[in-house]
Structure 1
């Protein structure tokens, strides 16, 4: 009995030791001797040596991560290096810290990972805000970029290339040698097709450097306005870039003397007519401006607002109804007042007193043949004028003479 018990305990101990050793054997060692190398102002390469204890030909996966904006981004690789783009505008500090570790599972599904090893590196030059209000307007296969230097007294150098990690892209870094200055802004024309990829910009002075992706713009849309019935038809020429893009137009306008700005939107697919109909009041002056930006299936490109386009004129409002509504009641009131005055003054003529027939009959019965006393005065004829008659005596001799 004792022999069997000792054998069973020894067997369990051997199994436990074997399990522990097997677990330790499965835990891969971490990478060693991490180093970094800046390929250009945007790109850094991190590499390391094979971990101790890893045999040649064994399947080992490496993982690396970066904590940015509070979130960890984990990527896997089967080689002992990785290349990443590091822009100053993406971080709040001048340091980048990557974590690298080994995973013994080739399909990156194992939870048996090595401890993490960190590597921290800085930019080739101090990180500094060199320019502000940097914008690039696309003109075909070129870009017209302009900016405001933070310190105009410092000499500024600008380089650019398409963003990416391919060998061809990494060799495409160019310097802008012709800078144009005006009172406040500095400009440079970049010979690069911005419709194919993002453009990485590198600016530096003696004070420091700055790397970022250029914000792309297209020229403000040139708008034409045409009146069609009770609508205005606004139309634009499509942008020179983004043939496969969906464009989002924003139209803002004011009408008459109303200071309120009204805006309307329309989405247009490239290749179709870029137009918009809006209601029109021909008694108002319209002040219209517009801008455009990509909506879907295309990288972010936008324009500023165009110059204000005016259409129509402010006409004085038709006040006929207002005048009628005010003057007509006044005239009617005056007419009513005059009518009342005339009626009151000539009421005896318009409405004479008519005797009561019952009173006349009663008077006849009581007085018999007496003259009826009727109210009012009786009609008295007006005496006619009488000419006096004058008689002239005729003598006999005068009469005979007349007869003769």
Structure 2
């Protein structure tokens, strides 16, 4: 038995030399030390750690890290990592050391560090916190009060982006119905690199009774241009040419357009969606520098047309393509209706219609009488025929009876007197 073990050991040693010495068995690295977390600005979370103790001298240390559910995996030699994230929920980072960039080779155990959400009742935090970059010149943030908050709560908004040396407070907070908003200057003209940055926003109350709410706004995600300007309109060969000007701070290739033409006499409306403003006629005025041109076919030149337009950002330059600008001022083209004739017709037509109705009503009344004469009342006729006579007959009948009675009484008296005279 002992001889067999020695032979096996000798055989393994010979195989090791034949294979060039072979690789040493994989050893587990010790974990990183002193992992800590801190917050910079408003929403920048920074994790730092120290290299593992008693690390192998032959190991070139790498650090593998990821957030919860293994999101945002990263392998780097730096002993720190940062992330820009809203601090409304718990955020955890896990780190381990390893000797190569291979995720499964010579790795240590995980070390985890979390940053807790802000203190306070979650139901008291503001809701629907959204920020829009208007015309690349100022940002407007709006929100709704939390459920468990007092109606007279005084809110404060703080913001920060990379061009600022410190966190600033938004001053002009106002209420717009149920929403509360605040605007602050954010001009791209002063910093051409702003498109690549984000704005960190935090809203809380002055008394510290509600839970703070955070938001990270990518500047290219929510951009709303100002309305464009219509410079002139003209009709040529039955086509309408719309000449306009882009809102300030925007290039034509970064915008999508919508032109609306309304015929005031027929009541028809036509909407033209255009991604690139251009006109087919190279001789048109649309070739002027700084002018955008749109061609609308089938516009009636003998009627009055109203034209307006609006724009939105596209995905060539920005992430969001749903925020339309307001409509531009309306411009008219075509023949206008004679206002004097129009007013006269408005006055004459009601008079004519009223007169016709009155005449028609009178005519219909006479015509009804002729066609449908009134039916006589039989009761009235019989009353006229017999009613008075019956009354007279009864009257005379009563008179005769009375007279007869009076006569008989008189005769009786006279008879008695005659009898008395005779007896004497």
TM-score by length of 1: 0.60
- Within 5 A, what are the aligned runs for 1:2-401? 3=3, 5-11=4-10, 22-25=24-27, 27-54=28-55, 59-67=60-68, 72-88=71-87, 94-105=89-100, 108-109=101-102, 111-112=104-105, 113-126=107-120, 129-132=125-128, 134-138=130-134, 142-150=137-145, 152-162=151-161, 171-181=165-175, 183=177, 186-194=180-188, 196=194, 197-205=197-205, 206-214=209-217, 215-229=222-236, 230-242=238-250, 246-253=254-261, 255=263, 262-267=271-276, 273-279=291-297, 280-282=299-301, 283=303, 285-286=305-306, 288-298=308-318, 300=320, 302-307=323-328, 309=330, 311-312=332-333
Which structure has greater helix proportion? 2
- Going from structure 1 to structure 2, the CA distance change for 1:298 and 1:124 (only over 3 Å counts) comes to same
- Note the C-alpha offset of 1:148: 4.4
Q: Determine the structure 2 residue equivalent to 1:365.
A: none
Superposed displacement of residue 184, structure 1:
5.2
Paired with 1:37 and 1:133, the residues of 2 have a C-alpha distance of 24
Give 2:378's aligned residue: none
Kindly indicate whether the alpha-carbon contact (under 8 Å) linking 2:66 and 2:93 is maintained by their aligned counterparts in 1: yes
Q: Residue 203 and residue 253 in structure 1: after superposition, are their counterparts in 2 closer, same or farther (change >3 A)?
A: farther
Asked if the contact 1:242/1:298 (under 8 Å) is kept, the reply is no
Give the whole-Å Cα distance in 2 for the aligned partners of 1:255 and 1:103.
Answer: 73
CA contact (8 A) 2:126 2:144 kept: yes
Distance 1:312 1:243 in 2: 28
Larger radius of gyration between Structure 1 and Structure 2 = 1
Against the structure 1 CA distance between its residues 132 and 236, is the aligned structure 2 distance closer, same or farther, given a 3 Å change threshold?
farther
CA distance in 2, matches of 1:275, 1:133: 38
Contact 2:95 / 2:110 at 8 angstroms: preserved in 1? Answer: yes
In 2, distance between residues paired with 1:15 and 1:29?
33
Contact between 1:137 and 1:219, CA under 8 Å: does it hold in 2? Answer: no
Q: Distance in 2 between matches of 1:153 and 1:73?
A: 41
Q: 1:287 to 1:12 in 2, by over 3 A?
A: farther
1:39 to partner: Cα distance: 1.7
Q: Give the SS at the match of 1:154.
A: coil
Three-state SS of the structure 1 residue aligned to 2:9 is helix
Structure 1 position 37, deviation (Å): 1.1
8 Å Cα contact 1:266-1:276 kept in structure 2: no
Distance 1:65 1:251, change over 3 A: farther
SS at match of 1:208: coil
The structure-2 alpha-carbon separation of the partners of 1:184 and 1:281, relative to structure 1 and needing over 3 Å to count, comes to: farther
Are the equivalent residues in 2 in contact too, given 1:48–1:81 (CA < 8 A)? yes
Contact 1:138 1:219 in 2 (8 A): yes
Deviation at 1:188? Answer: 3.6
Q: CA deviation at 1:9?
A: 1.0
State the 1:185 CA deviation.
5.0
Instruction: Tell me the C-alpha RMSD between the 2 structures.
Output: 4.1
> Is contact 1:135–1:146 with CA below 8 Å preserved after alignment?
yes
Deviation at 1:134, TM superposition (A): 3.5
Structure 1: which 5+ runs fail to align? 317-404
Contact 1:244 1:298 in 2 (8 A): no
Number of aligned residue pairs: give it.
Answer: 298
